[in-house]
Amino acid sequence: MTGGPVRDTQAMIAGMAPRLDSQTYAFVSAEAPGQALDLMRQALATFREDEGLALIVPMEAAEEAGIAADAYARITLMVNSALDGVGLTAAVASCLAEAGIACNMVAAYRHDHVFVPAAEANRALGLLREIEARASEATETED
- Asked if the model's pLDDT at residue 76 lies above 70, the reply is yes
* Residue 3 within a domain: no
* Residue 4 within a domain: no
* Residue 114 within a domain: yes
* Residue 70 within a domain: yes
User: What pTM value is reported for the model?
Assistant: 0.90
Q: How many domains does the chain have?
A: 1
Cα dihedral 53, 81, 105, 140 in deg (nearest 10): -170
> Helix, strand or coil for residue 89?
helix
- In this structure, what CATH number is given to the domain that contains residue 19? 3.30.2130.10
Give percent above pLDDT 90 in the chain. Answer: 69
CA 83, CA 41: separation in Å to the nearest integer?
Answer: 26
List of residues 6+ apart from 65 with CB closer than 8 A: 28, 35, 38, 39
Q: What is the pLDDT of residue 1?
A: 43
Range of the domain at 48: 9-142
User: What does the pLDDT look like over 104-119, one tens digit per residue?
Assistant: 999 999 999 999 999 9
* Residue 103 within a domain: yes
* Residue 135 within a domain: yes
* Residue 127 within a domain: yes
Angle at 76 between CA 72 and CA 80, to 5 degrees: 155
Angle at 50 between CA 38 and CA 63, to 5 degrees: 30
CA 102, CA 139: separation in Å to the nearest integer?
Answer: 28
* Residue 111 within a domain: yes
